[in-house]
Chains A and B, each alone.
Chain A
Amino acid sequence: MEVASTEGGKRRRGMKLWSFHGGIHPPGHKRESTTRPVESAPLPKELVLPMLQHLGAPADPVVKVGDRVLKGETIARPGNFISAPIHASSSGTVVAIEERPVPHPSGLSAPCIVIETDGKEEWHPSREPADHRDLEPAEIRDRVRQAGIVGLGGAGFPSFVKLNPGKTVKTLILNGAECEPYITCDDALMRERPEQVIKGAMVIRRAVQAQHCIIAVEDNKPAAIDTLTQTLRSEGVTDMEVVAVPARYPAGGEKQLIKVLTGKEVPSGGLPIQLGIVCHNVATAAAVFRAVELGEPLISRIVTVSGSAVGGPRNLEALLGTPVPDLLRHCDTDFEGLGELIMGGPMMGVALAHHQVPLIKTGNCLLAVSRSEIEQRPVVRPCIRCGNCAEACPVNLLPQQLYWHAQSKNLDKIQEFDLFDCIECGCCAYVCPSNLPLVHYYRFAKSEIRAQQEKKRKADIARERHQKRLERLEREKAERAARRARKQPVTDESKKAAIQAALERTKAAKKESSPDEV
């Protein structure tokens, strides 16, 4: 398939593109939030920064209650290798380090640092601008790690890990596909700050030493494609390419995008680096640019606020830790008619149990769905075995089989049907004529399996510890017996000897003492 990409109105021969299995064309709903430019959200009175805003281990606080912190100051350090530090999004005072509700489907609370802002927005002096061309790849990675950058597309994997591929990278792909309905934060970024995306791409490219670099954008965002191509030309960048990929959900899925661009499939359970490919989101690239060249850590992000309960949908540049209700209020949300608040898009996002949660690094979209829209949701009916789901699945799985096995909790069987290759994109549930919540079944089965594996791991440790304890008790018993055995023969003979010796001593003493008395 030959697809031409536009370049300043002039059409040129584009690169060859492939296609992935399945996929859907849901209504985009992107226009609502793209009518106005990105706005800065007002500074909130209180910032709530969860210690876990990424995949991996939670961060460990390095500040105390009562400390004054400055904007960009590190307030928590990575808890592990796969982890990320947390920075103060604005200047103020730490008023609490406690459990607060976090944006998570469970509605549970998790440790957070709470900062009362002072309105001064005073920057920490650690900001140190640099030119990425003067930095070694290792120095770039270190700066990205210190800046707490994680994948901003939604998964939140610490980015510095992906900057250290340990293998030759042929292609660097910047993912600007943004295929999910309603979400337009990457679109807004590419249109309004194309130079940050491109410079970020150059920095990442230097870090991974990639030969080739592609910025992939779905062709339903012509303005973003034009702006990026023009910026490339005006900056004189010739070794980077903007590619328009056909709009089809989920073209922005990492493995699907790689298939479209290269025709190669990432193996089951594998990583793109096995094909010599590294993939980063465009917003991550812009954050990398700000971290490396300007020395600014990740303290804010663009978030789309949209949905049927939002009066003025738009993109907001908001500080991390800003309470979500503040953002919703800023966009004229009808709180009375609010039925469901989703973090992420309508396909892959998760419904939040609490509204009083903060914005976190992975929060690309806040979708406020009105109660009337929820009431219109169709009734769930039994599966009629039509097979539409299998046709729609972009990973070529058998969603219906997965559904049956998840329903009957047949956890061994469901893994034989490659449950863990499911990307939870929701195509199967979208096409399901019975409106089954299929993704919910897969998430349920996945978390059950993970819990079982964890249980097994702990049981193995307990078995080993018990075994070691039994061995230790056995050994101690044997040692005690040996000690007794060593003593026993000695006592028998030495007893008599000792008595004899004592008798002789008393006799001698008597002999010595008696002459004096007499």
Chain B
Amino acid sequence: MYRSNVLVCGGTGCTSSNSELIIKRLQEEIKAAGLEKEVNVVRTGCFGLCALGPIMIVYPEGSFYSRVTPEDVPEIVEEHLLKGRIVRRLLYQETVVDDNTVKSLNQTPFYSKQHRIALKNCGVINPEEIDEYIAVDGYKALGKVLTEMTPQEVIDTILKSGLRGRGGAGFPTGRKWSFAAANQADQKYVCCNADEGDPGAFMDRSVLEGDPHSVLEAMAIAGYAIGATQGYIYIRAEYPIAVKRLQIAIRQAREYGLLGKNIFDSGFDFDIDIRLGAGAFVCGEETALMTSIEGKRGEPRVRPPFPAVKGLFGKPTVLNNVETYANIAQIILNGPEWFSSIGTEKSKGTKVFALGGKIQHTGLVEVPMGTTLREIIEEIGGGVPNGHKFKAAQTGGPSGGCIPASLMDTPIDYDNLIAIGSMMGSGGLIVMDDTTCMVDIAKFFLEFTVDESCGKCTPCRVGTKRLLEILNKITSGNGTLEDIDNLESLCYYIKENALCGLGQTAPNPVLSTLRYFRDEYVAHVTDKVCPAGVCKALTNFVIDPDKCRGCTLCARNCPVGAISGSVKQPHTIDTSKCIKCGACMEKCKFDAISKR
């Protein structure tokens, strides 16, 4: 029996900022202090507050240490673990109250507004230890389903809960399962889409790293509901920690007989294998994903037939996203009424968002559907840093769109986001401030889709390329008003004619920025100005001769020798040589250089 638990985040974010070394040092120091029988060091999944990593929580006090370095470890062991004195300088400042007391993490703005269902166990249990998952009621839902419920009752429960697919499109999960269950076949499959491809989204990775058994359990439940005996998890090879923990989890579940033959003595067999993806964005599209599992080139095909009729190896298949599966066991245990009491009328439950971009608290948050963008960004996320102003938020990655500041109070759910020209997508939420050029953002996402288009259908292969060319023309200052109109009509053409979701949604970033920030496009074309000062071709650096003291610092730092002038005389920039790197502006101590 340990008297204290030290939880250290072993998610990808904290691991890359050295949490492995912290764990090693902790174990060494604890051993040196003779505390190894009293203090248990646990490597957990992601806590969500990635901006403050590496993160450590010491229980039973619940002290939340942020930005811990390996050098801090001896002090934590000596002071906190040995003598019981909390190391205040390392505490997350939001947990320290003015009267010098420490409040619990759940009372801080970042956590108090969250409602964790899919992320319930992330940062709480050791993902490499099946016993810890079982200790928090893991596999109880599978046991209940196999011993007390019929497959139809399972499907009815999921239908009644109102759960919709968390991968982006928001199709009701229960209906997907009932279609697959209704189709008779000698073999059916359950697949898990862990090919999280949106730039900026990482909730699926976090669930797999922090709570892999929840996905295995849910896949087995889905298998029982539709009559499948084999599952596949299709995961990107770029997620090595998640892959490793999944492998460990599958091995442990097999050892316990929670995967394999005759689970819970019910006669139900189910096993799961992992398939690694090579990181192609298109393989997140369901038909391309299944083609890739079959060992063929990952290209989408025309639907119908839908996977529930003809999926993997031509058999009825259910394919759900990681986050969708992470909700299943909780729905079975707590009942569909509990789940449907959370959220909005048509979007039930919670959604995980990956906060990124110009925001204080970069990280992972799970909020009830219907929470407004303002609550997520200003209250939970801590707002835009460095005194800048919020301009727009991008949801749904390359398939989604921008939400401008004027729509910040829209309650976020599937239907509201579609109505304002964006989409839920997998839940990436990139915050942009007034230094972001919206044309440049559209260009960024188009560059991504041009790279990732599989090339099977012409509207996507050629169309996205033409879109990008027009955007390049506009940002280089050669655009015309006619280009903007062409851009728009080409967007609609691609939307209507592309084969799969990738192409159909690729124009969204352009369309939504045109809808809310058309004036920026026009400024690029008619005034030849980039209002945010991002597009290099339309930006010039100039030195204000009244402010310049002739210190020569800018000239010495200019990488291309574009700045000339003699000592103590105002300098000038030769715009024909200037590469607009901004080094001079950064170095100037007199604020004499500005963008125009």
Judge: A and B partners, yes or no: no
